[in-house]
Amino acid sequence: MAEYKGIKGFKVQTVSTDPAASVIATGSWASGGSYNTPRSTGSASGDIPSAILAGGESGADYTVNTELYNGSVWTEVNNLNAQRGIAGMAGNSSAAIFIGGDSPPVSVVTTTGAVESWDGTNWTEIADLNTGKGQGAAFGIQTAALWASGEVPPGNTLTNQVESWNGTSWTEVAEVNTARRAMSGFGSYTSGLISGGLSPSVSTNVETWNGTSWTEVAEINTGRFNFGSSGNNNTDGLIYGGGTPTASALTEFWDGSTWTEVNDLGTALQRLGSGFQGTSSSALAASGQGPSTVTEEWTTTPAPTFQQINLGQVFYNSTSDAFKVTKQSVPAGTWSSGGSLNTARSSIGGAGIQTAALAFGGDAPGNTNATEEYDGSSWTAGGNMGTARRLLAGCGTQTAGLAIGGFIAAVTDAVEEYDGSSWTAGGALSTARRNLAAAGIQTAALAFGGIDTAITNATEEYDGSSWTAGGNMGTARGSLAGSGTQTAGLAFGGYTTAGTGATEEYNGSSWTAGGTMNTVRYLLAGCGTQTAALAFGGTTGSVTGATENYDGTSWTELADLATSRAYLGGAGTNTLALAFGGEGPPVTGATEEWTTPTVNSTLTAS
């Protein structure tokens, strides 16, 4: 006999841990054993379960104390020969070198070129650096290491000098591109990376080393200094904690091309020891501000047991005894910087999705017919519009866009259609207007609201060649935003005799009232559908970066745009959106990308 599951149901997989987007996404920090001598800015090397920590600032002075970690306990071993802090270290717990740094007293910055070698039992003084340096970055092994940048006497000025160690002597090699101090580094003698630091302000700069030269690559998401790091090459590593300038718990993963924020430290820590030569799957954080004795261990799920997350999957977690579903969490969404428009402008039209968007027209200042296409990282020029204009509306896709109305020398009814390379004239609006909103696609569009000789509530429907009247909006308004389709449209915000937060929903023939926005505003942008919309930017009398999500019933406040602005363009969905152009003032070409994380959410009975 056939089972009901086989006819109508589906199998729910049982797992002991939640699936994740990647192995690195399974990573988390947990408390490790406390070390014995409280200190900050110590130097460290090795990884779990075998690491070494030496020097650093302890109390009123630098310490000579050295400790070894076995994965659970720190043990005091033989001391350094000289007190030092903010130094570099390379190697592991049985074969390491301690490089440069600052000498006592703490109140006076005195850099040193002294180097000591650790054989697993004792420290021995060996050949000095060519130039005394402190607060630089070191990485490598005991017989093949690098020291990069930092500060040098006199005056403790920033230097871009780099010195290479071959096990016998130090040699100056190719300089870093940006001099800095208090940064961190990880990697090997031929494949390393430095990031962050002070140059002299907090830096996001990143450079990789290939054994011969330094190359600037993608910047870290959060600038920081005196932070921890772990990695044994320039294509895989972690940075964590540090000053931003306040103490941070943020952790970022480097995959060789991009930085991704992963799970935070349990405790926000700055003035961390740097130099751990672990990996992105096994790392240590120690020697933080206070000074403290806090140790945290980073681990990930081993690759063979890792389970890939799939949007929409339902599963049972046997550890937490809960049924869960994988979905995108709109409330947890954030804005991040994207590639800037080539032509900064406001009062702009937009269409498409986050990875294939279209920006057209606007005020640059003065009317422009410029069109640009976005590929998810940068904008490139598209075919110019036939008519330069601003305060227009847009909808459709990157290869089938629609530009509607706006202002030329006067309000216009002109409509243009884009085919992915050029614009051609479409059917004119029945009512010329500017500051209007639109929804839908090129062959089934909706235009509503705006200003002709006065603010209007007129709605028009487009079939790909001509416009016909639709049901009027309940409230006449201009400078509003819209989303959705021709038969399921959404109008929100705008200006009546003052700003409004009113929302209306269109069913293909008439409008009905929806939930009111939390932030009353106009000259905003929006995207998404009637039941999953995003509203962002605009003005309340002063420009705002406020972002809200609509679920078909009510609006919820989310994370703000990084740059408050009005007269901006928008595209995408409520999980992957794009905000571009506008003015704060001034007029800007800034682009921001809205992304939402994929999460495993517990299913509850209702």
Q: Is the domain of 388 the same as that of 270?
A: no
Answer for the pair 405, 429: CB distance below 8 angstroms, yes or no: yes
Same domain, 293 and 378: no
Q: pLDDT at position 276, please? A: 67
Report the pLDDT value the prediction gives residue 275, as an integer from 0 to 100: 62
The band of 521, judged by pLDDT with boundaries at 50, 70 and 90, is very high
User: What is the radius of gyration, based on Cα positions, of the chain?
Assistant: 29
Q: How many CB atoms lie within 10 A of CB 480?
A: 32
Q: Does 404 reside within a domain?
A: yes
Q: What is the mean pLDDT of residues 124-138?
A: 95
- Mean pLDDT throughout 248-258? 95
Q: What are phi and psi of 101, to 5 degrees?
A: 105, -165
As a whole number of angstroms, the distance between CA 135 and CA 320 comes to 45
C-beta of residue 197 within 8 angstroms of C-beta of residue 171? no
pLDDT score at 425 = 98
Distance CA 479, CA 8 (A): 49
Give CA–CA dist 565/586, Å, rounded.
9
Residues 348 and 295 in one domain: no
Element (DSSP H or E) covering residue 6: helix 4-7
> From CA 459, how far away is CA 382, in angstroms rounded?
30
588 within some domain: yes
Identify whether residues 411 and 509 lie together within a single domain: yes
Q: What average pLDDT score do residues 199-205 get?
A: 95
Instruction: Give the CATH number of the domain where residue 562 resides.
Output: 2.120.10.80
Whether the per-residue pLDDT at 435 is higher than 90: the answer is yes
Q: Which of 395, 560, 364 is nearest to 489 (CA)?
A: 395
Same domain, 407 and 552: yes
CA–CA dist 18, 13 (Å, integer): 11
The answer as to whether 389 is a domain residue is yes
Dist. CA 71–CA 276, nearest whole Å: 14
Is residue 223 located within the same domain as residue 349?
Answer: no
Q: Which residues of 494-508 are buried (b: 16+ CB within 10 A; e: fewer)?
A: bbbeebbbbbbbbee
Same domain, 136 and 45: yes
Q: What is the pLDDT of residue 19?
A: 78
> CB of 304 within 8 A of CB of 1?
no
Confirm whether 577 is domain-assigned: yes
Q: Residue 185: its pLDDT value, please?
A: 94
Is 453 exposed, middle or buried (CB count within 10 Å of its CB: 0-12, 13-18, 19+)?
A: exposed
Evaluate whether 494 touches 449 at the Cβ level (below 8 Å).
yes
pTM value is: 0.66
Q: Closest Cα partner for 481 from 472, 470, 490, 473?
A: 490
* Residue 368: count of CB within 10 angstroms of its CB: 20
What is the distance of C-alpha 282 from the center of its chain? 23
Is residue 395 domain-shared with residue 263, that is, in the same domain? Answer: no
pLDDT tens-digit readout, 171-198: 999 999 999 999 999 999 999 999 999 9
Coil, helix or strand at residue 305: helix
Q: Which of 299, 319, 344 is the last residue of a domain?
A: 299
Strands 314-317 and 13-15: parallel
Structural domain boundaries, residue 212: 28-299
Q: Judge whether 501 lies within some domain.
A: yes
Sheet of 555-558, strand order:
525-528, 533-536, 547-550, 555-558
Q: How many CB atoms lie within 10 A of CB 60?
A: 9
Residue type, 567: Y
Q: How far, in Å, CA of 10 to CA of 80, rounded?
A: 64
Q: Are residues 111 and 231 in the same domain?
A: yes
Is 22 within the bounds of a domain?
Answer: no
Mean pLDDT value of segment 85-94: 93
Calculate the alpha carbon distances from 538 to 224, 249, 525 in Å: 32, 33, 7
**Arithmetic mean of pLDDT, 75-100:** 95
588 Cα distance to chain centroid: 20
Residue that the structure tokens 């949007």 belong to:
311
Q: 550: phi > 0 → left, psi -120 to 50 → alpha, else beta; which? A: beta
Share of the chain above pLDDT 70, in %: 97
Say what the pLDDT of residue 156 is.
81
β-bridge pairing 371-374 and 356-360: antiparallel
Does 319 fall in a domain? no
Residues 322-348: b if buried by 16+ CB within 10 A, e if exposed:
eebebebebeebbbeebbebebbbbbb
Give the range among 121-135, 150-164, 196-210, 315-329 with minimum mean pLDDT: 315-329
Q: DSSP string of 173-238?
A: EPPPSS--BS-EEEE-SSSEEEE--BSSSB---EEEE-SS-EEEEPPPSS--BS-EEEEEETTEEE
Residue with tokens 């403790």: 156
CB 357 within 8 A of CB 367: no
Residues 283 and 348 in one domain: no
User: Is residue 589 situated within a structural domain?
Assistant: yes
- In the block, which residue shows the tokens 């204009």? 389
The number of helices, as runs of H, and strands, as runs of E, in the chain is 1, 55
Among 46, 132, 136, which residue's Cα sits nearest to residue 82? 132
**Over residues 233-250, mean pLDDT:** 94
Q: Measuring CA to CA, how many Å separate 290 from each of 58, 84, 246, 270, 286?
A: 9, 17, 13, 9, 12
Contact 360, 393 (CB under 8 A): no
Q: What is the pLDDT of residues 358-384, one digit of tens each?
A: 999 999 999 999 999 999 999 999 999
Average pLDDT across the chain, whole number: 93
Of 125-139, 147-161, 542-556, 592-606, the least confident: 592-606
3-state SS track over 442-474: CCEEEEECCECCCECCCEEEECCCCEEECCCCC
Higher pLDDT, 503 or 25: 503
Residue (of 519, 517, 523, 527) closest to 578 by Cα position: 527
Q: What is the mean pLDDT of residues 526-549?
A: 97
Question: What's the number of domains the chain is made of?
Answer: 2
Element (H, E) at 5: helix 4-7
pLDDT at 4: 46
DSSP string of 349-360, one letter each residue: EEEEETTEEEEE
Task: Determine what percent of the chain falls in helix, strand and coil, rounding each to the nearest 5.
Answer: 0, 45, 55
Q: Which of 148-162, 220-234, 325-339, 402-416 has the lowest mean pLDDT?
A: 325-339
Question: Are residue 372 and residue 250 in the same domain, yes or no?
Answer: no
What pLDDT is recorded for position 328? 76
Going by pLDDT thresholds of 50, 70 and 90, the confidence category of residue 411 is very high
Q: φ, ψ for residue 275 (rounded to 5)?
A: 115, -5
Same domain, 295 and 337: no
Give the pLDDT confidence of 10-21 residue by residue, as tens digits: 677 787 777 777
Q: Which of 196, 197, 230, 194 is nearest to 210 (CA)?
A: 194
In the predicted structure, residue 308 carries a pLDDT above the cut 90: no
